[in-house]
Structure 1
Amino acid sequence: MSRPRNYGRVTLWLLITPLLNSIASAANDDCPASRLHLSEPPYDNYLLSDCHTSSHVIVTSPVRGGKDLDPRLLVAWPAGNSGIAIYFEPENGVRGSLGLNLENATSTGNALESLDLGSTDSKNENPRVGVTGLVHFDSPAILTIPILGSIRAIRDYSEGGKTLHPKLQNAVAVVPGDVPGGAAIYRDWLDKQTTTWLTFAQTGDVDAVKIIPGDRYTLRFGQGTYNFTATFNYPQMSQLSPQQVLNSGSQDLVAQNPDQTTSLSFLSYKSKILAGTWRFLTYFGRDSMISVLLMRSILSQGEGGAIEAAISAVLERVNKNDGTVCHEEVIGDYATFLNQQNGVDSSAPSCDYKMVDTDYYLPIVMKDYFVDTETGKDRAEDFLNTKASFLQENAGTSYRDLAQSTAEKIMKTSAPFAASQSIENLIQLKNGESVGEWRDSNNGLGGGRIPYDVNTALVPAGLRAVGRLARDGFFTGHEDWKTLADEYAQIWEDKTLDFFKVTVPANEARDLVTQYVKEAGSSAPAFSERITGDVVFYGLALNGDNNQPIVRVMNTDDCFRLFLLDTTNQTQLSSFLDQTANNILAPFPVGLSTEAGLLVANPAYGGSQSYADNWSNSQYHGTVIWSWQLAMMAAGLQRQLDRCGGDKPGKSASDTHSSIYKFFSFSI
């Protein structure tokens, strides 16, 4: 499929640096490690997990094809959404000339070993854990920037215009070590309890690590190999092993797909399922619920299983006052930082509630598990009676009450459109926010305020789920929801699509595609001769930039409607399936198809240079491929084909269905 304490404590551990490998090996005798190495030049990724801690180490080496990148060693920890990033430059000053890599230890044959050093701080009983390894520099290097504490702080630097927060950076200390030739960097977190340490030691006859005084202390390394250890003493989470994250019927996947199941395990914990590593590596509500919906058939169920971990994490973070589901949590050092920015001396976690799509996934995923599976049915009562504890403001509130608050919000906000089908009554982004659903980058929706996926798929699917949950007794005091939710859903299913429909006459479509290829500066063919009739698709959003009533970008968000709904308006359904089949089978830039998969956006029909610029292949939600959208499209097509009758999609009666089946067969 992005954050150190007392000088004496640091030097104490430098004294025993030579013993760290033996300590790690002894610890791992009774705690076997899970390892994964993924090389994607100029990046080398190493995942290492055991019963003590989980670490993701990334080495960025410009000489391996990333000459515009800064050499970097990054360590990311799921616990506390924390980590370390250290940036280097070549001593010779030639950008792109410094290469670095991890080396395997001769004693173990591994690039990394996990560390559990026990408690080293009288003020903090948490064990100091982390990772150790050998890093090799192929020429002398200068460590220029160390960022220790929070993944969010690292992300602010790497993706936020090289933003460094003085309050965090000023606490970074660089000290010499008692072990000759070594040095250490550490930082006390703002909570006055946690510390992150990074130490370096010589191996063999390499140059001693040299501290270079200046505005900020930096370190100089010679050509050769150094031992590094990265540790911290924040509370750890209980990880689900590859066997634990999968259900009994899917255990063979561990052997068949070891890389994928190890990656899945690295992101799966008993308290929550995490978004991708390293840049996020914490709770994101939408991501975890989409993952559960797409992977429910293989994930572990029941108490302590992956599905309940994901659902409980969402419920724990619901805003109980208005039912809004949390998009992203803020925890660890960054939580303290933001609290202090607001004048509050606290390390309490907080949540981002700006998204408008995430609410609807909650009843959908609850219905999918607690109504549609036998294990879920058996677990529902005990699960819903669980009391929340993660957010202070939710402490003691039952999961049932938190789920009901979200359902109440869904019913309330969907009622205006059910009563009067106007643009004004559709779901819009929140005031002051430029994002609100999965295309949450600056140009993702082209300034649109009323997103296609939310209004045509997520709202009616959420309403259907609320109705079913109500009929199964999940809510109290809302008997009317048993029928009213479905009445609302029917209106949203049938009456929203036309607001987003774009029809481009064939002659105009051919001209626009040809014009787009020129504006994009592409040497690829336009395939305009493939356009033999009107091009039809549903725009990304309404009320876009430059007074665009519809953001005229063809897209893959049809997958939400295919995957989440069983619509009954047959005329509309046939037309919808037909345009979906045409667009996913047609080659880009006529449609969405490429040799690598479906693009999530095709701006060829926008008719202006801004469309080509805003949805380029360098944009986060531009002419790029997202794997989960491919998976949802395939699963959605399968769902619709299954409704046609017969066990095999190939038995469908219409040409449209046959076309869809050709794509489905290709995509999987």
Structure 2
Amino acid sequence: MWWHLLPLSILAALGAAAAPTCSSAPSTLHLPDAPYDNFFYSDCNTAVQVVVTTPQPDSNLSLISPRLVIAWPAGNSGVCTYFAPQNGVNGSLGIEVVNSTVGTPLAATYGDSNTTSGNDTTPFYGVTGTIRFNSSAILTVPILGSIRTIRDFVEGPSLLRPQIQDSINASSLSNGGALLERLWLDNVTSTHLNFTPATSGSVTVGKNNTLTFEAGDYIFTAQFNYPQLKQLSPAQVLTNTSTGLIQQDPERTSALSFLSYSTKLLAGAWRFLTYFGRDSMISALLLEPILSKGENGAMEAVIASVLERINRTDGSVCHEETIGDYATWLNENQYGLYSTEAQCDYKMVDSDFYLPVLMNKYFVEDPVGRTRAGAFLNTSAGAFNTSNGDLNYLQMAAINAERIMNLAAPFAGQSNQTKDNLVHLKDGQIVGEWRDSTYGIGGGRIPYDVNTALMPAALRAIASLARNDFFANQTQWAELADEYAQVWEDETLSFFRVTVPESDAKQLVSSYAQTIDFTGPNKTDTIDGDVIYHALALDGNNNQSQVLVMNTDDCFRHFLLNTTASQHQLTAFMNQTANNIRRTFPAGLLTDAGMIVANPAYGKDPVYAANWTRGAYHGTVIWSWPLAMMAKGLEQQLGRCETTNSSAGHSNHARIRIPDFCQDATVYDNVKTAYNALWDSIEANQAQLSQEVWSWTYDSSNDQFLPTPLGVMPPPPGSSSQTESDIRQLWSLTFLAVTRNTSFR
């Protein structure tokens, strides 16, 4: 029936079925980031993001075209439509969402399931608004169903799956509009998208589900009948002592709420509106001071979501869940089965190590967590995967801890400190940690962050949990895990250490700057000694024994560990991190736009400059969360110089003497200078900090790096597509909790 496509306010006036009444007003956000315009709407019934893309005068028209994306956290579901100018002149069509009598600019829709065909009783939830075309347009490509399906098209080689596309039906409406609808592969859920003229004009249905629009305003409505998630309000996602942030920082707290739900926190909007284990746990560790604790709190939602999805056969942590329509498609195409059962991706090796660190942070170090441990860990683990229902959360945690102990044992053995005994990527995988793009770690098999920081940090946490009786059947872990950790802390850095003599370093940077046609100063004058950094990975492409890319992954060790034994190694490590942060790109990591996550200037093979570019997802670009983790990590290390009883990162509450680097005035001042240089850059880029990742362009006239959206940058050579950034990313909201320590100025 026609009325299930109307906004709630009109439905109520008509006496039609209405959604459950919400006790508070809807939450809305408008976040422009040309060429993308982002709108968020959520209430007690539903949550949705709408993204409008329209070319700008300086847009690369091979990458940017008119597009409307509507994304729901529920089921990681969505709609995507591409438009083209009817006159065929590329770049002439502009689209925008505007305020209207329908919404300002968005409003929720609701429809009783009985108003449509199908046997499901789930109501239709959706969103409506008004879209304006500056000239006549053609809707060329519609995609309805799953965000993963949309990502396959946007980020892949324009990949469309006939099994999904062929089930889209287009029809004309009596009011001059048109309807696109698709029944999901589960034969129950359906997605509807309709356009109707706001005043004048018409929509014409053509071949292959194309729609033609005259210039003007059109009301669009998108909805689907899939169970919605229970969102946590800003007050529910924050501790009672942190709710002042809602008034102080309404935009970021609203964004955090949009990504926070009772059963999980979501990675990012719009491309990752679902569970990602690594993202959730890194976010929780950095947001821990302000994240709500206790039953129904955000911290327990994160930990529970990870425990629910552990692979019980080997203890691996789920990296990404596959749910909704895409899960049905995957089950059929991978296994030949008709099933709506959710799936998990277990290819990452780094996610496993965050879990014990987070559990120790909450259940041992936090007073609220300590009181909740018994009840929480006795919870059945079958909510996400019913096959795990015979195990509880504590048993799932023990399976994960056992995996880590087994991986740690070979390297920790006497005289066993060899490369072969380090943690490798899983067989057949080219990715395995946070730099999970094709060239993120240059084909390396042995990642730097996992081996030098995540493994020893997880072992320290397991030792602490064991001392607090979490693993009753493994009491020996209390001492054994600490013994293992000490070996991993002390003996892994040397495998990744890279030393470039001063003269070679200057030559390499100068050559690299010319290779990439960098128009700014090459900063070789700041290289005043040998350049030292740690390789991204070992055993890379082209038979590279080390992947020779300077990087930010020192932050893991600074944030997660307080090493105690090798003081000489610690002093050198602190100093080289500070040097690399202080120096400006291309000599180092710093730019006016932020600290870049990878600098290939010191790699001799031309492949480095080719693969780590300003358009590469993990290239010479800026990610928000490494800024936060590096800032917090350096603060923690400097804080060790202020006290003799620091226990951060160690959990055994032993008295730790002040590290030697604190008494070395040159090194200490160098670290403090780097800390402040980093924070100066962070504070200069407040507008970008909540985004997932951004790039830069260089303005020679002002001698300045300018922040630039990643999605408008040319992709690396050989890449068939570009990756755009999420406007809001969970782990990019961590600056709500990570703030500058002015005592170190």
Give the TM interval when normalised to the shorter protein.
over 0.9
One of 660, 669, 672 as aligned partner of 1:661: 672
Alignment of 1:606-645 (within 5 A): 606-645=603-642
Measure, in 2, the Cα distance between the counterparts of 1:61 and 1:482. 58
Q: Does residue 384 of structure 1 match 2:382?
A: no
Cα 1:398–1:95 change in 2 (3 A) is same
Q: 1:16: how far off?
A: 6.1
Q: 1:344: how far off?
A: 1.1
Aligned to 1:481: 477
Aligned to 2:520: 524
Q: Does residue 597 of structure 1 match 2:590?
A: no
Q: 1:64: how far off?
A: 5.9
Alpha-carbon RMSD across the aligned residues, in angstroms, is 1.7
Measure, in 1, the Cα distance between the counterparts of 2:112 and 2:598. 50
Aligned to 1:22: 10
Aligned to 1:50: 43
Q: Does residue 90 of structure 1 match 2:85?
A: yes
Aligned to 1:266: 258
Does the aligned pair in 2 maintain the 1:102–1:133 contact within 8 Å? yes
Does the aligned pair in 2 maintain the 1:592–1:600 contact within 8 Å? yes
Does the aligned pair in 2 maintain the 1:505–1:534 contact within 8 Å? yes
Aligned to 1:6: none
Cα 1:74–1:415 change in 2 (3 A) is same
Q: 1:116: how far off?
A: 2.2
One of 314, 320, 332 as aligned partner of 1:340: 332
Aligned to 1:326: 318
One of 50, 54, 59 as aligned partner of 1:66: 59
Q: Which whole-Å deviations, capped at 9, do the CAs of 1:434-475 have from their partners, x for residues lacking one?
A: 000001001110111100000000000000000100111111
Q: 1:607: how far off?
A: 1.1
Cα 1:31–1:196 change in 2 (3 A) is farther
Q: 1:392: how far off?
A: 2.9
**Runs of 4 or more above 4 Å deviation:** 15-21, 24-31, 646-649
Q: 1:45: how far off?
A: 0.1
Cα 1:48–1:107 change in 2 (3 A) is closer
SS at match of 1:32: coil
Q: TM-score w.r.t. structure 1 length?
A: 0.95
Alignment of 1:189-268 (within 5 A): 189-205=184-200, 207-212=201-206, 214=207, 216-268=208-260
Q: Which whole-Å deviations, capped at 9, do the CAs of 1:323-380 have from their partners, x for residues lacking one?
A: 0000000000000000011211100001000001000000000000010101000000
Does the aligned pair in 2 maintain the 1:64–1:99 contact within 8 Å? no
Alignment of 1:63-212 (within 5 A): 63=56, 65-68=58-61, 69-106=64-101, 110-120=104-114, 121=116, 123-177=119-173, 179-205=174-200, 207-212=201-206
SS at match of 2:528: coil
Cα 1:63–1:623 change in 2 (3 A) is closer
Structure number with the bigger relative contact order (C-alpha 8 A, sep ≥ 6) is: 2
Q: Which whole-Å deviations, capped at 9, do the CAs of 1:402-435 have from their partners, x for residues lacking one?
A: 0000000000011000011000000001111000
Does the aligned pair in 1 maintain the 2:7–2:102 contact within 8 Å? no
Out of 27-36 and 99-108, give the one that drifted further: 27-36
Aligned to 1:583: 580
Aligned to 1:291: 283
Does the aligned pair in 2 maintain the 1:41–1:65 contact within 8 Å? no
Does the aligned pair in 2 maintain the 1:384–1:399 contact within 8 Å? yes
Q: Which whole-Å deviations, capped at 9, do the CAs of 1:574-619 have from their partners, x for residues lacking one?
A: 0100101111111111111111221101111101221111111111
SS at match of 2:379: coil
Aligned to 1:457: 453
Aligned to 2:342: 349
Letter in 2 for 1:113: A
Cα 1:646–1:392 change in 2 (3 A) is closer
Aligned to 1:8: none
Cα 1:163–1:66 change in 2 (3 A) is same
Measure, in 2, the Cα distance between the counterparts of 1:271 and 1:458. 26
Aligned to 2:294: 302
Aligned to 1:408: 402
Give ranges in structure 1 of 5+ residues lacking alignment.
Answer: 1-11
Sequence identity of aligned pairs in percent?
52
Cα 1:367–1:471 change in 2 (3 A) is same
SS at match of 2:341: coil
Does the aligned pair in 1 maintain the 2:34–2:56 contact within 8 Å? no
Cα 1:506–1:224 change in 2 (3 A) is same
Does the aligned pair in 2 maintain the 1:317–1:326 contact within 8 Å? yes
Aligned to 2:707: none
| Count of matched residue pairs | 650
Q: Which whole-Å deviations, capped at 9, do the CAs of 1:148-173 have from their partners, x for residues lacking one?
A: 00000000000011000110111000
Q: 1:18: how far off?
A: 5.9
Measure, in 1, the Cα distance between the counterparts of 2:182 and 2:397. 40
Does the aligned pair in 1 maintain the 2:76–2:324 contact within 8 Å? yes
Letter in 2 for 1:599: I
Measure, in 2, the Cα distance between the counterparts of 1:180 and 1:112. 21
Measure, in 2, the Cα distance between the counterparts of 1:20 and 1:96. 36
Does the aligned pair in 2 maintain the 1:67–1:96 contact within 8 Å? no
Aligned to 2:722: none
Letter in 2 for 1:400: L
Q: Which whole-Å deviations, capped at 9, do the CAs of 1:378-406 have from their partners, x for residues lacking one?
A: 00000100001211321232001100000
SS at match of 2:311: coil
Q: 1:512: how far off?
A: 0.6
SS at match of 1:262: helix
SS at match of 1:62: coil
Aligned to 1:417: 411
Letter in 1 for 2:470: F
Q: Does residue 370 of structure 1 match 2:363?
A: yes
Letter in 2 for 1:294: L
Out of 658-667 and 131-140, give the one that drifted further: 658-667
Q: 1:518: how far off?
A: 1.2
Does the aligned pair in 1 maintain the 2:579–2:674 contact within 8 Å? no
Cα 1:518–1:473 change in 2 (3 A) is same
Cα 1:603–1:273 change in 2 (3 A) is same
Letter in 1 for 2:66: P
Aligned to 2:426: 430
Measure, in 1, the Cα distance between the counterparts of 2:546 and 2:9. 60
Does the aligned pair in 2 maintain the 1:83–1:150 contact within 8 Å? yes
SS at match of 1:522: coil
Does the aligned pair in 1 maintain the 2:152–2:160 contact within 8 Å? yes
Cα 1:246–1:582 change in 2 (3 A) is same
Letter in 1 for 2:251: D
Does the aligned pair in 2 maintain the 1:564–1:636 contact within 8 Å? yes
Measure, in 2, the Cα distance between the counterparts of 1:203 and 1:655. 68
